[in-house]
Amino acid sequence: MVNDTSVSLTTPVMATYSRFPVTLVKGKGSYVWDEQGKQFLDFTSGIATCNLGHVPDVVKEKVEEQLQNLWHCSNLYHIPNQQELAALLTANSCGDQVFFCNSGAEANEAAIKIARRYANKVKGNRSTEVVTFQQSFHGRTLATLSATGQEKIQQGFSPLMPGFSYLPFNDEEALEQLIPLKPAAVLLELVQGEGGVIPANPSWVKKLDQICKDNNILLMVDEIQTGIGRTGTLFAYEQYSIEPDVISIAKGLGSGFPIGAIIAKEEVAKGFEPGSHGSTFGGNPLATAAGVATVTHIINTQLLDHVNEVSTYLDSKLQVLKGKYPVIKDIRGKGLLKGIVVETNALEIVQTALAHQLLILTAGPNVVRILPPLIVTKTEINECIDVLERTFQSMEKGA
């Protein structure tokens, strides 16, 4: 019925997600609660989005202040919060100019578009190819799923967008194929999140960076999941001694408010001009208010030092589990983006942990992904480890 205001949990929403049987209605810090008041320890952070935890006071105050003034005005006018956030991002990165959008997929769309337009309009060549890597994940729009190096993501959406090539990840010899391809750009994740929490090897990244420099290929880094402090630095690329031409960010940038962006070097930013790209909601006053509060808090406090301390602690605890349970084959990742490689169905582990009121994720069929908020305490890590211990014990007994 058109005028029916009742809420159904099954019919009106398309089945694009395999949802867990939990309805969350409240969150604070590292915890969330369902509609019956049951508390869960959230080590997903909304998939690396609520980096300051749920409903952080510093962001809440800034957003509440903005709610009293202006919600939306479009990008036909100057937006002070947008200017401030762009200044924060460029002052704390290797980039010079920022384009704002609403999500990670849109950020990667913008990266692909600026690479092609820069090649065509600024460099004056016809290069349109963008090289990505096998097992990568760059988004769900038609262009970004075409850029994604996973067939399971692309199934059913043919024909894919042309102009993408995929090379093996962490394979130095395969990088030699870049030179004859003469691509406009390379797009990579420094930790493949959805692809299994696989960090890039520093020597491989160094060689890739040099090839791009020597052959005038743009190097674009997808920091959707790794950025905004997740790996212990504001951006993961800082740990690889490189300076990307374009950085795409989203997730943690707005502490849960929809926002994405690319940060580009000044020369590359010439690829965009008035009318060449846009976004109705991108960088609106509310989203950028959340972004300003989030980034300001991270760079003006000792939070990144805390991330490095607690991530080392978490890693040590996970290594102890690995030594006790043969089903655990490896622990990998960076900072507070951890992957537990298991010799079993990772989803079963996630479901068992959920029954013990711990929220964790998968990253493929045999990797458990752990993404606590950056504010996580050692006590909360111990709580997570206790649940994982019980989970692996129960699996061992079952086996």
What's the Cα-to-Cα distance from 101 to each of 42, 251, 284, rounded to whole Å? 27, 12, 9
Average pLDDT over every residue of 217-233 = 98
Q: What is the mean pLDDT of residues 360-387?
A: 98
Q: Please state, in angstroms and rounded to a whole number, the distance separating the CA atoms of residues 148 and 142.
A: 10
For the CA atoms of 313, 314, 315, 318, what is the dihedral angle to 10 degrees? 130
Give 320-333 pLDDT, tens digit per residue: 999 999 999 999 99
CA torsion through residues 189, 195, 259, 270, sign: positive
Alpha carbon distance 190, 227 (integer Å): 10
pLDDT tens string 342-364: 999 999 999 999 999 999 999 99
Number of alpha carbons in the 13 Å side-chain half-sphere of residue 81: 29
* Mean of pLDDT over the chain: 95
Cα–Cα separations (whole angstroms), residue 86 to 11, 265, 283, 306: 41, 13, 10, 25
Identify the CATH homologous superfamily for domain 24-56+303-398. Answer: Aspartate Aminotransferase, domain 1 (3.90.1150.10)
CATH architecture for the domain at 57-300: 3-Layer(aba) Sandwich (3.40)
- pLDDT one-digit tens code per residue, 146-202: 999 999 999 999 999 999 999 999 999 999 999 999 999 999 999 999 999 999 999
Domain ranges of the chain: 24-56+303-398, 57-300
Residue 150: count of CB within 10 angstroms of its CB: 18
